[in-house]
Structure 1
Amino acid sequence: MSTSEVGLEILPLTPDRWEDLEKLFGPRGADGGCWCMFFRLPHRQFTEQQGEANRAAFKQIVEEGTEPGLIAYAGGKPVGWVAVAPRAEYGRLARSRVLRPLDQEDVWSVVCFFVDKAYRKQGISTCLLKAAVGFAAQHGAKIVEGYPVDLSDRTYPDAFAYHGTASSFLEAGFVEVARRSPTRPMMRYTISERN
């Protein structure tokens, strides 16, 4: 899977690409020792293992053969990340008042992004979203769901926009299907037989 948009190549995270993710995330694990484990773990467990334990847990998921997301490369350099997997892998969604499931549909979820600071505001998140839809479709998904922040009336520091922005989701073809919080729409992309 790759894209010529903004000169990116977008590939699944596999064990042979783990070092690329480490380079992209840096020593802080993208943000505050998360290592993309926030939505996978109960709050207490996530907090207790922030940092190295989260890194090790996420690495184990990758080494077991799961491809938990996609890495974007520009000129061979890792510059962006999107986490996409079946919603059932993200237990925190089921426990969230705002993001709890809408229905019993078999949904894949896009839960977070990380883009290298030097490459932000260049459309990489939208490219990653489009690639995430394609990746989910290849794995049999019929619906891809996301939980972005709506920045229409406010600004957020980049660190708090890791869910993605509603405008990026709209640009990638998602539609709003629910809003349980003023700033957090739930958005879906329904994969047609043509995709």
Structure 2
Amino acid sequence: MATTPLAASDGFRVFPATHARFDDVRTMVGPKNPASSVCWCLSHRIPAKQNRELTGPDRGAYVEALTRRRTKPGVLAYDGDEVVGWAAVAPRADLPFARSTKIPHVDDQPAWSVWCIRVRPGHRGRGISHVLLAGAVAYADGRGAPVVEGYPVDNHGEKVDLTMAYVGTRKLFEDAGFTLAARTDATSAGFPRVVMRRST
């Protein structure tokens, strides 16, 4: 496994989601019941029709195959040897966002997207989302991305329902050096979503 982290802060370290770390990916995004047809962080990674048709254990198998590819499906945060966070990152051109009618294209640069940031219960409020986002940007940069974007809620400091908080907040992205690039027609947890961008 990689020993040099993509990012590190306050004892937390971030690494690519390689196949050797697939059990940790499962811990972060797999359902408790392997037969369930939920999550695995696929709803914004693959087309809606494919997402509906991919059921049960096939969902985990799909993500396991992603970890075997040259470009990994995301990054993982660790507190020591314990996995505590996940961020999905990939070229926007490979995602349904490329065809979104609600989230606009800012320009023709081959942007990478960070669209899901998840911290395990019991570990929240410790700054892990910040180091995860830094690691996701570093990973995209290492793969040649000229620019990285996210689609967080513009919640003006108001509390966001935890089930929808995976998109992140505008402030989280601003703290990581992102700036507002566009408004969108999308919402999450009742808040408008915005396109936040930064160069690598």
Which TM-score band (shorter chain)? Answer: 0.7 to 0.9
Q: 1:26 to 1:58 in 2, by over 3 A?
A: closer
SS of 1:11's partner is strand
Aligned residues: 189
For residues 86-141 of structure 1, what are the alpha-carbon distances to aligned partners after superposition, in whole Å with 9 as ceiling and x for unaligned? 11121x10232221422211111111111101111221111111111111111111
Q: Counterpart amino acid of 1:67? A: K
Q: CA RMSD in A?
A: 2.0
Q: Counterpart amino acid of 1:168? A: L
Other-structure match for 2:72: 67
SS of 1:70's partner is strand
Aligned pairs (5 A) from 1:1-195:
1-28=5-32, 33-90=38-95, 92-152=96-156, 154-181=158-185, 183-191=192-200
Unaligned runs of 5+ in 2: 186-190
Deviation of residue 154 (structure 1)? 4.0
Other-structure match for 2:188: none
Q: TM-score, normalised by structure 1?
A: 0.88
Q: Counterpart amino acid of 1:185? A: V
Q: TM-score, normalised by structure 2?
A: 0.86
Q: 1:40 to 1:23 in 2, by over 3 A?
A: closer
Identity of aligned residues (%): 38
